[in-house]
Structure 1
């Protein structure tokens, strides 16, 4: 039977239509004969040619009406209840034609026969098609993955209809937390409660649960996913309702539920007047425009109709990618805003001043920085030159050129830092605070926040890659926690915070609750339908363990267990519920300049020990973990190399050579 159905599926459309016409013709004759037999309660009419002659006009006219109603354009596998309307109309016309022909030809056909014939023809023509649909779907469904749909509302029903037209999934049941829907049938599938999900997975061999709750809040989705995670099946979701309504996505465009879908909060609506204040009708520059935060800032800025947008980026490819994306967005929306993509480093004073002067920049969002803790710990001088002196160059240029607003993108790692990256960002804050005190032309402000979801170097893409490679997933410490925020939310809050600045402000974004990274790793494994286990804590045989191991590898260089957002203890609220204002220690300009001169000399001489000492003495609250220095060039210069030559062993120290070579 399966072989026959597969052959039917593969034959061409014209032959399928011809087959349907032949089948309907046979059914018309069969229903007429059955109607006569039921009415006369005998088969004596079979030998009367006059009885059968009425079918000569009835049969072709009925087929013609069915064809005009589009019945033969419908694909039987995907036929829906709407086809019954076409069948009913066609059957009605067929019965009328039969009645008129019988009346005009004086054939021995009782007047009640057309009515009986109509009922039979409707049931048979419709029934055969729906039986074939069930058979064809079951035939193709044998290879489809059995799934359950979470959400028996309108979205769930539409998803089930969409899945019926695919060959990847077959929906066997619904899950819904509405007691009124439970134990009822929706689209022929039973609705179960969330508490029954475990039994459902076990008894029906469910391989995935599809979330059809596009309007649910992130908090609600987190609750549902936390309840489903232990079941050990894949969890997928349909697109958001906004994408569905706008036509960007369809119900059947399923995607894996990701941590990004769950960790972020439901955003607070942005305030239009704050979003526009420093942008609308102004020339805006974004440094580090190709980075995670910089690129999203550019997208948000473009929505506020600036007079022009200047993209400053040191990476050629990153600059190309974001500039092309923004220009394509403008073309699609039929808008015209100048986008100037400028290659350059914030460490180059002449280049930065020339850019600000040439484009007459009014607002600067300074996002250019080295932000990876371990890389800066291993490349201290370059990290400081970019994060501290790069900020100094562009901030002083902004003040000199009369830029109206300068917003520094800072980080939670600047609070009581244990690493050079955090300390350098806190020093960059001091630079902006000092300039805010020493001049009045430019309004300086700083916005401090934690990790953003999906940023370059984020832990989530690393975990995902490790899971796809078969593990293990590596976590630095079992108690380590981090704050997370979506990039669009962070960028919108940065823009709004900058609009509230009065000069020297340190704004802190409300990051929500911290997330335990070990729990995040295990959750990501479960979302892939796999079972995690902590490698160090199991003595089970390998065959009895879970699918993916989670390995505790120890803290990275300079890494903190807990991130903080405030140095002081008394943040003040602002007009925005997720933006706070902090009062932080600052330095008078002359003291700051003296400190920066010392730091400049230490960088020039490549003296990491002195840099460390300067940071310890400065008001940064810098408290490194231990005395070790991890800078790659520093450690290489302090290693003794033994070079063996014929009949000679030379001990050479490379420190002086390296200092001469790398002190630019």
Structure 2
């Protein structure tokens, strides 16, 4: 039975009747207490006559506070505050009704006694019922539950314990904290057994094989536990991410993975705003078959675009993407083109057919060593001329927004790839001046975990072969993000890049990437997660490759940043002069005139003329 949107099950009806009975008892007991346990005869009839009014008013007060919606088994402090508010409303209503009825000689001190009794009886009943339910659950599920230790501060452990309430799978036997002062304290009847350094010993002593990392993603504690205990006998677990909550219960713990090594909290999208922006629009994505491009397609599709135009030079990649999106988003119109961003006329024809509102440009050559030797001219043709073509198409077809996927390697570049991407950024800024009706932005981010050509697939294959795992330098560090984060960042920056918010086209955005990760730590973690040791799979240092840096940078010497409306995105301010139309034409002519096999020295010298901060490593 449903009344006013509430489903009244048998248990809910019984609980409501129990509340009514307790309210009636509280009214009678209030009179009894008021007269020192000896209720005069004349007040007995007064108590009985006014009881229906008191009960009715209290029921109305509790109903206004929506107390009837509470689940007794899961009552919390918030529920008790709600209950207190309902009782207060009920007492005030009772006072008003009884005073209107004008009972002679009515003892007004009954009212506060009545309110306190109702609050005590109703909250006590709920707390008792929850305790009974939890004890029954503990007895019933103990046989199939696995023991678990929570690793985190008291605040983090408290939240984890609340989430695990009612879990049929886990029984928490203790907490380990990073703070010495927390040891021997108790939280929700669970003791703090010791510190993080004692985790292995404590787990062995209590026969526990699973540890829940309650600290936030990217925290120092999580990274410490992950690097120290991965690959040991301990099963390291974490809560499901927000993206999985729709399909996964919060108590369904997941295994830790590489994402938990990131030195910051994951990217959080302004989903409502993005849906409002993209819903019903036509969006075009170049490089749609690549790691970032395909994830961009997935992210954009879930915001309800009416048409998605996917462009990639790889037939196999675009076919695979088509099969995936047709199944995942059958209501969306999809157009899948095999086309090269170097071919302006082909891109223009595609854009003029569909008139995209937004164009995301992800097509690029990105592998640093591969572009450094024998393929330098290919990097310039695709990363520079390809960007020029797509940016020009965006302006010619009247797109509202153009977003370039850039990289941290474009900052003070020491590689052909980095210099070509820096030049691509400058091309986009020049296009912003040429086509003022189109908003142009670029987005820089670091290395992407699991993308094609990244270290993770390389290390994984090396571990599978038994090693060695090759790391270029023991001190080399990189900023990392996941593939979904990279795509989300691009989409979010595209939304920010509009004159209504920040007032300038041609802006460059960077992500607050937190702490960098040592590549050798990443290699060790992957070895341990594979269930092997560094003795079985050794790590070998091979030396820096051509064009490679020890440390990546986010800003050039002439650049500063300021905050945006998104907490993890910052906008770059720079003093570099924007390329003129003449310089753009000269740049295009220079790249085209290099020919199929230019001299590496000639190419590098010419590139330095356009990107003055470009330096060859060791020069």
Seen in structure 2, the aligned counterparts of structure 1 residues 339 and 244 have a Cα distance that, compared at 3 Å, is closer
Equivalent position of 2:222 in the other structure: 222
Q: Which of the numbers 402, 411, 416 marks the counterpart of 1:415? A: 411
- After superposition, what is the alpha-carbon deviation per residue over 1:389-441, rounded to whole angstroms, capped at 9, x for unaligned? 11122222222222221111111111111111111111212221222222323
Post-superposition offset of 1:216: 4.6
Equivalent position of 1:555 in the other structure: 544
SS at match of 2:219: helix
Equivalent position of 2:332 in the other structure: 337
- After superposition, what is the alpha-carbon deviation per residue over 1:276-303, rounded to whole angstroms, capped at 9, x for unaligned? 5752332110111122221222222123
- After superposition, what is the alpha-carbon deviation per residue over 1:588-638, rounded to whole angstroms, capped at 9, x for unaligned? 2212321331222113453333211111222341111247xxxxxxxxxxx
Residues 285, 364 of structure 1: 8 Å contact kept: yes
Post-superposition offset of 1:263: 0.8
Q: Which of the numbers 562, 580, 583 marks the counterpart of 2:574? A: 583
Post-superposition offset of 1:340: 1.5
Post-superposition offset of 1:477: 0.9
* d(CA) in 2 for partners of 1:270, 1:231: 33
Post-superposition offset of 1:249: 6.6
Post-superposition offset of 1:354: 1.0
Post-superposition offset of 1:465: 3.2
Gapped runs of 5+ residues in structure 1?
1-129, 164-170, 533-545, 628-664
Asked whether 1:352 is paired with 2:336, we answer: no
- After superposition, what is the alpha-carbon deviation per residue over 1:70-124, rounded to whole angstroms, capped at 9, x for unaligned? xxxxxxxxxxxxxxxxxxxxxxxxxxxxxxxxxxxxxxxxxxxxxxxxxxxxxxx
Equivalent position of 1:512 in the other structure: 514
Seen in structure 2, the aligned counterparts of structure 1 residues 250 and 362 have a Cα distance that, compared at 3 Å, is closer
- Which moves more between the two structures, 348-357 or 219-228? 219-228
SS at match of 2:399: coil
Equivalent position of 1:281 in the other structure: 280
Residues 508, 580 of structure 1: 8 Å contact kept: yes
Equivalent position of 1:602 in the other structure: 594
Residues 240, 254 of structure 2: 8 Å contact kept: no
Equivalent position of 1:259 in the other structure: 258
SS at match of 1:603: coil
Residues 392, 431 of structure 1: 8 Å contact kept: yes
- After superposition, what is the alpha-carbon deviation per residue over 1:240-282, rounded to whole angstroms, capped at 9, x for unaligned? 0657754447967753x22222316323543357525752332
Seen in structure 2, the aligned counterparts of structure 1 residues 228 and 565 have a Cα distance that, compared at 3 Å, is closer
Equivalent position of 1:482 in the other structure: 478
Post-superposition offset of 1:329: 2.4
Residues 370, 421 of structure 1: 8 Å contact kept: yes
* d(CA) in 2 for partners of 1:453, 1:230: 18
SS at match of 1:408: strand
Q: CA RMSD in A?
A: 3.6
SS at match of 1:524: helix
Post-superposition offset of 1:449: 1.6
Residues 258, 524 of structure 1: 8 Å contact kept: no
Asked whether 1:574 is paired with 2:564, we answer: yes
* d(CA) in 1 for partners of 2:594, 2:323: 41
Seen in structure 2, the aligned counterparts of structure 1 residues 555 and 205 have a Cα distance that, compared at 3 Å, is farther
Residues 284, 359 of structure 2: 8 Å contact kept: yes
Asked whether 1:367 is paired with 2:374, we answer: no
* d(CA) in 2 for partners of 1:205, 1:622: 58
SS at match of 2:560: coil
SS at match of 1:265: coil
TM-score by length of structure 1 reads: 0.61
Asked whether 1:398 is paired with 2:394, we answer: yes
Residues 561, 570 of structure 2: 8 Å contact kept: no
Equivalent position of 1:624 in the other structure: 616
Asked whether 1:454 is paired with 2:450, we answer: yes
Seen in structure 2, the aligned counterparts of structure 1 residues 470 and 218 have a Cα distance that, compared at 3 Å, is same
- After superposition, what is the alpha-carbon deviation per residue over 1:453-477, rounded to whole angstroms, capped at 9, x for unaligned? 2222222232233334333222101
SS at match of 2:260: helix
Post-superposition offset of 1:349: 1.9
SS at match of 1:622: coil
* d(CA) in 2 for partners of 1:450, 1:359: 32
Seen in structure 2, the aligned counterparts of structure 1 residues 392 and 190 have a Cα distance that, compared at 3 Å, is closer
Seen in structure 2, the aligned counterparts of structure 1 residues 230 and 285 have a Cα distance that, compared at 3 Å, is closer
Number of residues paired by the alignment? Answer: 458
SS at match of 1:455: coil
Residues 278, 405 of structure 1: 8 Å contact kept: no
Seen in structure 2, the aligned counterparts of structure 1 residues 240 and 262 have a Cα distance that, compared at 3 Å, is same
* d(CA) in 2 for partners of 1:492, 1:220: 24
- Which moves more between the two structures, 388-397 or 569-578? 569-578
Q: Superposition pairs for residues 235-254 of structure 1, below 5 Å?
A: 235-237=235-237, 240=240, 242=242, 246-248=246-248, 254=254
Equivalent position of 1:322 in the other structure: 321
Seen in structure 2, the aligned counterparts of structure 1 residues 221 and 313 have a Cα distance that, compared at 3 Å, is farther
- Which moves more between the two structures, 259-268 or 241-250? 241-250
Seen in structure 2, the aligned counterparts of structure 1 residues 231 and 204 have a Cα distance that, compared at 3 Å, is farther
SS at match of 2:616: coil
Equivalent position of 1:31 in the other structure: none
- After superposition, what is the alpha-carbon deviation per residue over 1:123-169, rounded to whole angstroms, capped at 9, x for unaligned? xxxxxxx9xx98xx9xxx9xxxx98543683666877x538xxxxxx
Gapped runs of 5+ residues in structure 2?
1-138, 152-156, 498-503
Equivalent position of 1:425 in the other structure: 421
Q: Superposition pairs for residues 82-101 of structure 1, below 5 Å?
A: none
Seen in structure 2, the aligned counterparts of structure 1 residues 323 and 181 have a Cα distance that, compared at 3 Å, is farther
* d(CA) in 2 for partners of 1:325, 1:179: 51
Equivalent position of 2:42 in the other structure: none
SS at match of 1:621: coil
Seen in structure 2, the aligned counterparts of structure 1 residues 419 and 330 have a Cα distance that, compared at 3 Å, is same
